[in-house]
Amino acid sequence: MPTTTLRSATIDDVPLILELIQALAEYERLPEEAVATAAGLRDTLFGAQPAAEVLIAEVDGESAGFALFFHTYSTFLGRRGIWLEDLFVRPTFRGHGVGRLLLSRLAAIAIARDCGRLEWSVLDWNVDAIGFYQKLGAVAMDEWTTNRVTGAALVALASPEGG
């Protein structure tokens, strides 16, 4: 019976994290959007002010997946939360409890840190993930629309005139 373990990523895991991010981007049909670099990950995940944390899942010592997360804040709850930015399990390890184990650990971290919620988004077409999350008790927040400003629009918005 295979043994699955979870551990916090270290700076030595940067190449693995980058590989998993690229695999996730391929799965999500967005490879051109995955422009992260090893240097950038080193700085943002393990530098003076880490922006996020990473859990690595291993099955019998082989990397099986990861979860990248960071803290948010709910003004309504007056408490921190955890935002799961990415959860990815390599195809050969899907259906063996790796994703469930990663989410379970994140829930335990949220409770230990007195967080009021654990949240994430999922692509509309990813019906397998949606079904998986529903089985875990997740509730879709269909009444909310995610907004994003990037690139030239972000630069324009940052100007005193606001674009």
Measured distance CA(59)–CA(65) in Å, rounded:
9
pLDDT category of residue 2 using cuts at 50, 70 and 90: confident
Instruction: Answer whether 87's CB lies under 8 Å from 71's CB.
Output: no
Residues noted as catalytic: 133
Per-residue pLDDT reduced to its tens digit, 103-133:
999 999 999 999 999 999 999 999 999 999 9
Tokens of 63: 């990397």
Query: Residue 57 corresponds to which amino acid?
Result: A
Q: What is the SS3 assignment for 157?
A: helix
Give the pLDDT confidence of 138-161 residue by residue, as tens digits. Answer: 999 989 988 999 999 999 999 987
Taken in order of first residue, the domains within the chain and their CATH numbers are: 4-120 (3.40.630.30)
